[in-house]
Amino acid sequence: MDLSFNAEERAFQDEVRGFIARNLTEEMKRATALTPSVFSDPDIGMAWQRTLHKQGWGAPGWPVEHGGPDWTPAQRWIFETESARAGVPNVNVMGVKMVGPVIIGFGSPEQKNFYLPRILSGEDYWCQGYSEPGSGSDLSSLKTRAVRDGDDYIINGTKIWTTHAHHANRMFALVRTSDGPRQQDGISFILIDMKTPGITTRPILTIGGDHEVNQVFFDDVRVPVANRVGEEGKGWTYGKYLLEFERGSGIASAKLREGLKAIAELAESDLTGRAIDSPDIATRISEVEVDIDALEMTELRVLSALQTGQNPGAVSSILKLRNSEIRQAVTRLGADVIGHDALAVEPMRPLYKLNHEQAMPEEMLTVMPEYLNGRAYTIFGGTSEIQRDIIAKMMLGI
């Protein structure tokens, strides 16, 4: 693998840096720096999505015929890395990186023509209706049911841990349309307008005090059959395809590296009494850096495969597993670096909107919220235990 850039790629790197310098506002940059979650608030993230769309860069991983920029793996890598270094907001993750590829791969022409432009432009903001009470890691046991009634499905049930459902105007959901010997065979993939009568969203406040996730209830919600993606009963296949893209299509190492850099700078500062002088802290920083290097090499291999149209498969589980573990290691290291100052944590709300005097310097403000939020990294998107099972079955034949 040649990791050096040629003249054309260096010119593209300069183009990306120039674009970010011209368009990334100080408000966006500060908001991103003070966002403890992997999801930016829509008023920040979607503004950046619209900016990218105007440039033709709204969906780096999409085929060019659907609005993708037709980048090489090296260009994709450069874009993601420069974005992480500059501190750009996370964009329409649920739309661009999750439901978009499913609609491209399995949607009808009408669905592609309607939804894909709205995802690119930032007009639609999506949430994911997968987990349910009692159906998390065992997702195929889900009970939210869609009963056919003429040209509609009538949906009843509930979804939980639904990130940003209180912001979203669209949901992609797995629902049960039939019963059979195999639970997976009775599941369908449905696109839902969140303004449809009968939908109720209830907030869930997590350990850090933030409102990021929700429980969503469906009471006789009528959704057109035309909103089903692909065949009835094949939703489990489409849902797994989506999860492979969610887990394996991003460039996490660049953001992890920037996160570690911020913690290392704190450790070297007087704010923490030069925590870097502790052999334990210094060693752990080095160990995490090595882990990020290894993750980066795996991401490069997957990116090359994706560029040729190959699904990442089981390797996406390796990426998800290691990304979540390293994220937790970085946030745990941050909490140890600031020490007793962690007790002065601000409740996790939009920190960039706070106007009063902070209890601690701004560069320390997100350390504990990120640590608390990060406890979920090894759970959402498929638990670490499930990822290890997938790796064992698909790669080791166990």
- By annotation, the residues acting in catalysis are 246
**What is the DSSP code string of 141-187?**
G---EEEEETTEEEEEEEEES-TTTTT-SEEEEEEE----SSGGGGE
For tokens 């969906």, name the residue: 59
For tokens 């979607």, name the residue: 46
Q: Is 295 helix (H, G, I), strand (E, B) or coil?
A: helix
Distance, CA of 333 to CA of 312 (rounded, Å) = 30
Region of residue 357 (left: phi > 0; alpha: psi -120 to 50; beta: else): beta
> Closest Cα to residue 146, out of 228, 85, 210, 23?
228
Q: Which residues contact 384 (CB under 8 A, 6 or more apart)?
A: 321, 324, 325, 378
Q: How far is CA 281 from the centre of its chain?
A: 29
> Closest Cα to residue 115, out of 174, 200, 190?
190
Distance, CA of 9 to CA of 53 (rounded, Å) = 21
